[in-house]
Amino acid sequence: MTTVHWDIAIKPGELDAGPGTSDKRSLWEDHRQDLRAIKHQARLRRLQPRTGVDFSSNDYLALSTSQRLRDAVGAALVRGVSIGSGGSRLLRGNDPEHEALEAEAAAFFGSESALFFASGFAANAALLATLPQRGDLVVHDALVHASAHEGMRLGRAETRAATHNDAAAIETVIMQWRANGGTGRPWIAVESLYSMDGDRAPLAYLLEVATRHDGMLLIDEAHATGVFGPNGRGLAASLEGRENVITLRTCGKALGSEGALLCGPAVARDFLVNRARGFIFSTAPSPLMASAVREGLQMLADEPERRTRLAALIAHAEHVLAPCGVTPTGSQILPLMIGDDAATMRVAAAVQAAGFDIRGIRPPTVPAGTARLRISLTLNVDEADIDRLADSLQEILP
Ligand SMILES: Cc1ncc(COP(=O)(O)O)c(C=O)c1O
């Protein structure tokens, strides 16, 4: 993997000055100033090469490098599946692989229909920008992913945040909105397994709230798909197929490929096909990737031992990492809360220097004061790697 050299674009030393200290104005001065401000807050991000033992990817079942997926993609190429789609789904880009994937995904997850997007970000943004209408209310968990925020920003409905994982708080927001004259429909947006905290949403209670208020429940299953539920159908598997439930199943995490499927009622799919700008005005995802996802779904059903193995790694990691301060979540996402941004990045750098690929996560990705290491468990590691990580954390942590 190549390193991106920001310092070529941002001349050497230029970012070392404090915010606004340079009086030289160039074409890119405003952007450089913004970057200096980010650096000053110790939040400058850089693209890093992929090194160290994988404790950071979302390739939970190690499908991305599996021989079976490679073989399936090779076989798809041989049978003539094209690499590029050549256009929007509404024009020439609609490929039989997309349609086959969507039919198989709907059958697998138990929804009336499915629609394939090029990424989870694009799908989530399209969902929230398109389905809630003017006059509606979107109540979202305080910790939903940036892609949901992007959709809400583009959409026409009012939006309110509710306390994390608190279905009663969501209901209170809906009732207050109604009491203040809200006449549209409430949409509840949550994740089933939170990407930075590894905790689970109270889905059954959230469905009750949605149903009681004639509302919709949008469940982002990005991190649960493939890992939890019968055949890896996620934590929302038993809710799928209801008229007021839509799920997002990303394909770049446990499914080992790329893209995302929105699963839900056929009317929602038809509406997205007709109204979602990110679907209509975009080249359709690679048909080759659609065939990879088809195989990935089949692997979830055929290879339950991958989930069993991951569950064993989770149990082992919780046991040996808890004494280091890692929060046991019962999931493959284990945060090590540190709080201070700079301290988090120092610990992350030390852990990386010891040979582990673990990233520090800072605001704005997580709320201020909750910077952390995000430890992600995948089948790319084994118990011995986890033991070595525990030893290393014991040495590094203050
Ligand atoms: C909860 C959640 N939703 C959506 C996405 C976006 O998915 P993708 O990476 O496929 O764009 C992510 C990605 O990290 C995520 O964590």
Q: What is the pLDDT of residues 72-130, one digit of tens each?
A: 999 999 999 999 999 999 999 999 999 999 999 999 999 999 999 999 999 999 999 99
Q: For residue 308, what are its two tokens?
A: 């069993």
CA of 176 to the centre of ligand 1 (A): 31
Instruction: Tell the residue nearest (CA) to atom 9 of ligand 1.
Output: 120
| Inter-residue contact 219 to 250 (CB < 8 Å) | no
**Averaged confidence pLDDT in the chain:** 94
Catalytic annotation, residues: 58, 145, 191, 195, 220, 223, 253
pLDDT for 16 beyond 70: no
Mean pLDDT of 60-74: 98
Q: Is the CB of 173 under 6 A from ligand 1?
A: no
Ligand 1 closest atom vs CA 258 = 10
Residue 142 · residue 161 · CB < 8 Å: yes
228, pLDDT greater than 50: yes
Position 45 scores a pLDDT of 87
User: What is the bridge-based pairing of β-strands 216-220 and 186-191?
Assistant: parallel
- CB 252 less than 6 A from any atom of ligand 1: yes
Ligand 1 pocket test, pick from 145, 196, 197 with the greatest ligand atom count within 8 Å of Cβ, gives 145
Residue 6 binned pLDDT confidence (cut-offs 50, 70, 90): very low
Q: What is the pLDDT of residue 360?
A: 94
Atom number of ligand 1 nearest to Cα 250: 10
- Measure the CA–CA gap between 332 and 297, rounded to whole angstroms: 19
pLDDT-derived band at 9, boundaries 50, 70, 90: low
With a 6 Å cutoff on the Cβ, whether 249 touches ligand 1 is no
**Beta-strand (E) ranges in 131-224?**
137-141, 158-162, 186-191, 216-220
**pLDDT tier for residue 10 given thresholds of 50, 70 and 90:** low
What six digits make up the tokens of 337? 């809360």
Q: What is the mean pLDDT of residues 207-230?
A: 98
- The confidence score (pLDDT) of residue 14 equals 59
Q: Which long-range contacts (CB under 8 A, 24 or more apart) does 173-182 make?
A: 173/137, 173/139, 174/137, 174/139, 174/209, 174/213, 174/215, 175/213, 177/137, 177/139, 178/213, 182/135, 182/137, 182/158
Those residues whose C-beta lies under 8 Å from the C-beta of residue 254, and which sit 6 or more positions away, are: 58, 59, 60, 61, 63, 225, 226, 227, 232, 300
E-strand ranges in 172-215 read 186-191
pLDDT at 13: 59
Please compute the mean of the pLDDT values over residues 213-220 and round it to a whole number: 98
Would you say 377 and 334 are in contact if contact means Cβ atoms under 8 Å apart?
yes
**Which has more confidence, 88 or 40?**
88
Of all residues in the chain, the percent with pLDDT exceeding 70 is 94
> Ligand 1 test: best mutation among 56, 164, 191, 195, most atoms within 8 Å of CB?
195
Contact by Cβ (8 Å): 277, 264:
no
Instruction: Summarize the confidence of residues 126-141 as an average pLDDT.
Output: 98
Number of separate helices (H) and strands (E) present in the chain: 14, 12
Q: State residue 341 phi and psi, 5-degree precision.
A: -60, -50
pLDDT surpassing 70 at residue 1: no
Structure tokens at 112: 């009336």
Helix axes 203-212, 167-179, angle to 10 degrees: 20
Neighbour count for residue 247 (Cβ, 10 Å): 28
Residue type, 25: R
- Report the percent of the chain where pLDDT is more than 90: 89
- The answer, yes or no, to whether any atom of ligand 1 lies below 6 A from the CB of 221, is no
Give me ligand 1 centre to Cα 250, in Å.
7
Ligand 1 pocket, residue 191 CB under 6 Å: yes
Report CA(326)–ligand 1 centroid distance (Å).
Answer: 23
Residue 149 CA to ligand 1 centre (angstroms): 12
For the Cβ of 192 lying below 6 angstroms from any atom of ligand 1, the answer is no
* Span 312-352, pLDDT tens digits: 999 999 999 999 999 999 999 999 999 999 999 999 999 99
What confidence tens digit (pLDDT) does each residue in 232-266 have? Answer: 999 999 999 999 999 999 999 999 999 999 999 99
According to the model, what pLDDT value does residue 210 have?
98
- Is the per-residue pLDDT at 5 higher than 80? no
Q: For 33-53, what is the mean pLDDT?
A: 91
Residue 332 near ligand 1, beta carbon < 6 Å: no
